[in-house]
Amino acid sequence: MKQVKHRNSTSKVLGFCLAVLLAFSTSIFAQGDPAAGKALFNSNCAACHKLDKDMTGPALRGVAERLEKDWLYDWIRNSSKMIKAGDPYAVEIFEKYNKTPMTAFPQLSDADLDNILAYTSEEKKAAPVPTATTSGSDSADSGVDMNLVLGLLALILVVLAVMLLMVTKTLNNLAKQGGVEVPETDSIWKKFVKNQFLVLVSVIAFMLFAGYHLFGFFMQVGVDQGYQPVQPIHFSHKIHAGDNGIDCKYCHSSARVSKTSGIPALNVCMNCHKNISEVAETTADADYSKEFYDKQIQKLYDAVGWDGRAYTGESNPVKWVRVHNLPDFAYFNHSQHVTVAGVACQKCHGPVEEMEILEQHAPLTMGWCVNCHRETNVKTEGNEYYAKIHEELKKKYGVDQLTIAQMGGLECGKCHY
């Protein structure tokens, strides 16, 4: 009998251990797949939550350790129901985060929720420290200013001429001191002045040289090609238009229908950055760190008055520096080129999708514009007025196609009145 009792107690102990083991094994196997959880988190949760920072909702890293799993399941699938039922913590969260209702996710299965919680339970990884490149070819400017080269050559020639004169004079003085008779001759300058042909040729050459450079100088007045100002908030076209593939006309929407392309309102920026408070770690490079980019996003938040969860009402205007600026007498209509003619933005503004800091790519001179018009055929589809004029000119001058410049040169009053 004792042996039977012992067997019964042993079986109870083994049963208890097995139950504990099963409980632990269930919790272990129910942890889920963090990789799958990341994908679910980004598609369902990232609009309002981050792992390590409060946004519209609280930070979620380690939430599975702070709260019971069943409570989290109920909250994620229907938070409004828990608030109406008077759950203390549910009401507290709702009140704390501006009474913003959380989207219900009844479609997520237990496995999906386990995967999401497994992702939120991962330890925070340290950000990699970018290493700067030391290659001289990458950091140094390979462009050479030809005017500087010509100036240096002229200076070298003048120095050589002066040295030659000094050496000649020194040799003559030494010869005289040694008793050697040196015939008296005019200096090279006197010989030059007496030679009227050389004087005339030199004067003409000097006038041509000076006129060429003077003309080039005045032609560059008001031409700001390469102008690259520093903006109050660093905006990378390379990241937005290049890496993320955002269309130019999403931000500069008025370019399609207006004379100007317009400066995007900060609310356009907040369409995305309301939920993007920091850049990805892979965005940083040797020139700009992640901390630098995150600081620029914070400047945007300060400008619009966003504290990460709601608008405070305290906004500050951003004083952008204009990059492209045409003279007042030059009329340019963006909609006529972008919508009617279908000209790509890069045609005038260059490869903006590759520019970290925006610069003026083209000279934007009248000659530059006219040259483009000489090579561009008139697009009259969908415009009855210009199509009618185009047909009249084609019949009158017996040609199949007319460029814009030819139309303007033949019948200026037809279009410009």
- pLDDT digits 0-9 by tens, 24-59: 444 444 468 888 888 888 878 877 888 887 877 888
The pLDDT value recorded for residue 133 is 41
pLDDT score of 5 more than 80? no
Q: What is the mean pLDDT of the chain?
A: 79
CB neighbourhood size of 207 (10 A): 10
DSSP, collapsed to helix, strand or coil, labels residue 311 as strand
Residue 197 vs residue 409, higher pLDDT: 197
Nearest by Cα to 347 from 328, 323, 373: 373
Q: Convert the pLDDT of each residue in 59-77 to its tens digit.
A: 888 888 888 888 888 889 8
pLDDT of the residue at 139: 39
Single pTM value for the model: 0.57
Nearest to residue 57, comparing CAs of 35, 32, 79, 81? 79
Q: Cβ(248)–Cβ(345) under 8 Å? A: yes
- Who wins on pLDDT, 155 or 144? 155
Residue 135 has pLDDT above 70, yes or no: no
pLDDT band at 198 (very low <50, low <70, confident <90, very high): confident
Q: Is the pLDDT of residue 415 over 60?
A: no
Number of H helices, E strands in the chain: 21, 0
Residue 18 has pLDDT above 50, yes or no: no
How far is residue 413 from each of residues 366, 392, 396, 417, measured CA to CA in Å?
19, 14, 15, 5
3-state secondary structure of 277: coil
- What pLDDT score does 182 carry? 61
Cα–Cα separations (whole angstroms), residue 279 to 41, 155, 238, 321: 17, 52, 14, 24
Rounded Cα distance, 308 and 305, in Å = 9
Q: Which of 119-133, 180-194, 217-231 has the lowest mean pLDDT?
A: 119-133
H or E element that contains 357: none
Model pLDDT, residue 6: 44
Q: Which residue has the higher pLDDT, 408 or 214?
A: 214
- Average pLDDT (145-155) is 78
Average pLDDT over residues 100-119: 86
- Least confident window among 204-213, 237-246, 388-397: 388-397
Task: Return the closest-CA partner of residue 130 out of 239, 291, 240.
Answer: 291
Window from 125-134, 296-305, 306-315 with minimum mean pLDDT:
125-134
Q: Reply yes or no on whether the pLDDT at 343 is more than 50.
A: yes
81: pLDDT strictly greater than 70: yes
Q: Which of 136-145, 172-181, 210-219, 292-301 has the least mean pLDDT?
A: 136-145
Residue 136: the pLDDT is 40
Q: Kindly indicate the confidence band of residue 386, based on its pLDDT and cuts at 50, 70 and 90.
A: low
